[in-house]
Structure 1
């Protein structure tokens, strides 16, 4: 963060702390995180930086300079967000944040204060907060998680606080779920906190088992091409897909003899370990799913029908709406197969690093690419595709003899960025060419993440 900018925002007698966190590229796993899948994530070079100094008058002042050059500012009284101006009630805080100027973006920042007051007992007396970021918003590279994690890291030093190994990203997820109101999984916050640029980070989202980073084989590149279509994890389609997956899980465990009372107890306690598959769809194998459950799940189900016959929806952050229809079978099937795809992808990637002859190397890359294409197609079947991301994936397929082997939509889908698997300098150049051709066709500038 530029020293001149810091000096212009903070007064000379203020002691501030600076922290940063990167965005992430979702290589494999994506929306299966909330169903317990293994995911593979890569940090990108773009980062969000947050500087915070405490005040003593109850005022919170935030200034944010974003990747799209927007200059956002807001000032408010922190106590106005609290129940009886004293304690944190998440439902009340979420509604109060919406009422302040800039509450849509400020909620990611002030939400960190609210969660830490509730969960760690900090005393908030006001703050000056300066944010700079080159992680673009709405591109499916986790700008929100980068902002939350950077803010949490600054507050950790400022107060100071101690955390268990994965506690900081888990609290950052609470900000997004309970203050922002977006039903994201934990993948993004873990990836922003633990990820690095030269490795893939395997995370088993049950809920937060972070494995050792895996080196990307020499000559292999995972890059991102922005579709130019803004993605939001809060979009109704993402919420509907997540809700449908949990509806499918509820129907499966009822088949296995679990009662509504048992399911309600697990939801209230947020402890699903005693339920079948430890509460995660991803723990069902594809063979078992097809043999035991697929024929018993409806392709589409009305929300009112589910509520009448399966009154407990086990997801704590989405609700089933009576008037909507949900793609139960496809949304339940996705995490089952995605977890299998990610595991296979990781094994093939490690095999690729052992040093193969050219023919075996190409065959391995083709299989890696096929897994990415399958993942992309599954997104679309669930309802999270987009014609622009489909177009980018098709452009990669058409250039498969030029060093690019696979592509898929990333993160929550419905637009955002496409991840591309490239081999060597030729593949990297082909990805740049695809990026340039896409820009020229649509007459707009879109981001290339390298």
Structure 2
């Protein structure tokens, strides 16, 4: 394995453990996680593999095959920067339970596609540390720890969805997650049995949450909840009444969050009833809400969704935090080529960078690599 060979070359010995954690794509339920709502992601075939051996001296040595290829050594956790902050943040959240570590990282999550490579990195490292130190943390506890690393150490106010999907997902299933209770259920998602495929359309536009727009949306949702006197927007039961008390952006954000959580529950109901071909309308409605009410889409995402549906997709939507990244399209297998041609032609007509197409296959969550 490439990451093990790199570990040996850098540190002169084999790693004590190797863990893989996947990225994720979200079928539906966008920007609902930090509003205590419902989400329905699943793990993708690409992820991050972490080879690790603990150290007792507090020193952290990190090697990424996607970075310089040379180890970065940190005597203190304050020395971390860039991608290393996600790893060091996990160590920081574990506190006195761990000291230092020698770590090698290899990843194949398409960068900038909104498939949550950061969560995959955090969960892979957290899982490896949990394993080698015998901490006994559950997958959900590892997800929560990884989320805290990103919130408190990196400074990105993400919800729990990405880390939970990476840690808990099962092959062939989507993860129905209640982001308040943290209760979850694996929902079978066998698209091929219904002659369907879920196509990821990578717009090749790098999404940049650090611009502040993601944090701004979260702040707007929290402000709206305070004005409505509820713990979170998930608790709004009278949507019409709530909208009458709000104005401007907070009104629009609230309408999206409440209706999006309802769409998640409706889609789960369709999947459990075997009506997989009928979920496309919910995907379309989700995209319109994200575009018009939550305002996190982009021209490239809108064109991808419109061209995919025009080319024969049963439904499509942007996925992830927005402002770039990827869209997903539910496509009959026999129309895959036509959908890709439709999107590619629409991009070429507008002189957008050519999109990349990836198959979204529900994959296994974090696991030890033998």
TM over 0.5: yes
Aligned to 1:62: 62
Q: Distance in 2 between matches of 1:244 and 1:378?
A: 16
**Contact 1:435 1:448 survives alignment (8 Å):** no
SS at structure 1 position matched to 2:82: helix
The alpha-carbon distance between structure 1 residues 5 and 434, as it changes in their structure 2 partners (threshold 3 A), is: farther
**Contact 2:64 2:71 survives alignment (8 Å):** no
The alpha-carbon distance between structure 1 residues 409 and 23, as it changes in their structure 2 partners (threshold 3 A), is: same
The alpha-carbon distance between structure 1 residues 435 and 128, as it changes in their structure 2 partners (threshold 3 A), is: farther
Give deviations 1:220-259, integer Å, cap 9, x for gaps.
3222110111113333111111110111000000xxxxxx
Aligned to 1:342: 264
What 5-or-longer segments of structure 2 have no aligned partner? 361-370
- Give how far 1:280 is off: 3.0
Aligned to 1:393: 305
The alpha-carbon distance between structure 1 residues 45 and 431, as it changes in their structure 2 partners (threshold 3 A), is: farther
- Give how far 1:207 is off: 4.4
- Give how far 1:447 is off: 4.8
Give deviations 1:401-447, integer Å, cap 9, x for gaps.
x3x11111111111111011122x21333344345546755354635
The alpha-carbon distance between structure 1 residues 134 and 434, as it changes in their structure 2 partners (threshold 3 A), is: farther
Of residues 110, 124, 127, the one that matches 2:88 is 110
Once the two structures are superposed, the pairs formed by residues 102-251 of structure 1 within 5 Å of their partners are 103-117=81-95, 121-124=96-99, 126-164=100-138, 166-217=140-191, 218=193, 219-251=195-227
Stretch of structure 1 that moved more, 409-418 or 206-215? 206-215
The higher radius of gyration belongs to 1
**Contact 1:49 1:131 survives alignment (8 Å):** yes
Once the two structures are superposed, the pairs formed by residues 33-48 of structure 1 within 5 Å of their partners are 33-48=33-48
- Give how far 1:55 is off: 3.0
Aligned to 1:53: 53
Give deviations 1:338-386, integer Å, cap 9, x for gaps.
0111111121223335xxxxxxxxxx73x52221122112212222110
Once the two structures are superposed, the pairs formed by residues 64-83 of structure 1 within 5 Å of their partners are 64-66=64-66, 70-71=67-68, 73=70, 75-78=72-75, 80-81=76-77
Give deviations 1:169-198, integer Å, cap 9, x for gaps.
000100000001001000000001111342
**Contact 1:242 1:331 survives alignment (8 Å):** no
The alpha-carbon distance between structure 1 residues 52 and 165, as it changes in their structure 2 partners (threshold 3 A), is: closer
- Give how far 1:77 is off: 3.2
Q: Distance in 1 between matches of 2:295 and 2:325?
A: 14
Q: Distance in 2 between matches of 1:211 and 1:110?
A: 31
- Give how far 1:106 is off: 0.4
Once superposed, what is the RMSD of the aligned Cα atoms? 2.1
- Give how far 1:74 is off: 5.3
Aligned to 2:246: 297
Q: Distance in 1 between matches of 2:352 and 2:172?
A: 32
- Give how far 1:123 is off: 3.7
Aligned to 2:21: 21
The alpha-carbon distance between structure 1 residues 77 and 64, as it changes in their structure 2 partners (threshold 3 A), is: closer
SS at structure 1 position matched to 2:174: strand
**Contact 1:65 1:72 survives alignment (8 Å):** yes
- Give how far 1:394 is off: 0.9
Relative contact order (alpha carbons < 8 A, sep ≥ 6): 1 or 2 greater? 2
- Give how far 1:208 is off: 1.5
Q: Distance in 1 between matches of 2:149 and 2:189?
A: 31
How many residues align? The count is 354
Q: TM-score, normalised by structure 2?
A: 0.89
